A = this chain, B = another copy of it.
Amino acid sequence: MAVYTEVSDDDLAAFVAAYDIGDVVSFKGIAEGVENSNYLLATTKARFILTLYEKRVDKGDLPFFLGLMEHLAERGITCPLPVKARDGEALRTLCGRPAAVVTFLDGVSVKKPTPAHCAELGRALGQLHAAGEGFSIRRPNALSVSGWRPLADAAKGRSDVVQSGLDAEIAAELDVLERAFAKLDLPAGVIHADLFPNNVLFLGDRLSGLIDFYFACDDAYAYDVAVCLNSWCFEPDQSFNVTKGRALLEAYHAARPLSDAEIDALPTLARGSAIRFLLTRLVDWLDTPAGALVKKLDPLEYFRKLRFHQQAGSAADYGWRG
């Protein structure tokens, strides 16, 4: 939630004049995305999201993100489509920052997904993975297994304020996961990597859009499935809802069939995904000053999810019936 850069009406008018998108009729900073400044821009032609990329985003990654959204949208995925200016460029500059205009998607995020929502999400995720094939730019997942130890080191010695003994638990889990991930050899390609409910829009029970591709990268497709099992299928009391898991997995499988190796790897991938969000939330928790208006996400939510995955024997524990 943030607008870091204020855009004056004059700067906006000059920026929009480079596009063939009509004249500005409304411009509101929106509380969306923690990394960038986002505005809802309405013109005489349509509504758009205008994003100014702030410091935390690596400029070198922007051609990947914008190119990926264009690649996916052209293949029928309902994601924001970067709009090109008259000169053919989608990546431009505004107020000294890289900036882009993308199409606006209707829909509302669901706070408590139903099994029907999970099925829609699974189908859309399978379609996303299939549609990503052929995209030419590569971006390794900096928050996959090799990135977890440095995050753990950043929190080391401080995480006991969150929960006693957490350092040791994390270290032990990383020992297990580093070995387990080294043995995996799974189909890989473009993944969203952050497809939480707040990044998926619905109109009623129908999925209307996938947004926020700024963690997208190359990694195992099934890892993306595991991220979604973690973020869509647990109840508020941290129990796992197998009906939702099954709905997600079966709908995904119908859109992009899961291999036996991917199915076997689900518990490991779910553990990996849980530690990834545990670690990033933990570091944010420890590094965010008290009183800052940024919403801090509870790292222990993912510690409890990790506990579930550590006990999972196979994909059946997520509802998979094979």
Chain A positions within 8 Å of B, measured between CB atoms, are 1-3, 8-10, 12, 24-32, 40, 42, 104, 106-112, 202-203, 289, 291-294
A111 touches B26 (CB 8 A): no
Cross-interface CB contact of A8 among B26, B112, B289, cutoff 8 Å: B112
Given contacts A8-B111, A30-B31, 9 further A-B contacts (CB under 8 A): A1-B29, A2-B31, A9-B110, A9-B202, A25-B106, A25-B107, A29-B32, A40-B40, A291-B292
Cross-interface CB contact of A9 among B9, B109, B289, B294, cutoff 8 Å: B109
Q: Which residue of B lies closest to A13 (CB)?
A: B108
Q: How far is the CA of A25 from the CA of B40 in the complex (A)?
A: 15
How many protomers of this protein does the assembly include? 2
A9 touches B108 (CB 8 A): yes
Cross-interface CB contact of A111 among B1, B9, B293, cutoff 8 Å: B9
Q: Which residues of chain B come closer than 8 Å to A12, judged between CB atoms?
A: 108
* The 7 A-B residue pairs with the shortest CB-CB distance in the complex, in nearest-first order: A29-B31, A8-B111, A293-B293, A3-B31, A25-B106, A28-B30, A9-B108
Q: How far is the CA of A110 from the CA of B27 in the complex (A)?
A: 11
Q: Which residues of chain B come closer than 8 Å to A32, judged between CB atoms?
A: 28-29
A26 touches B292 (CB 8 A): no
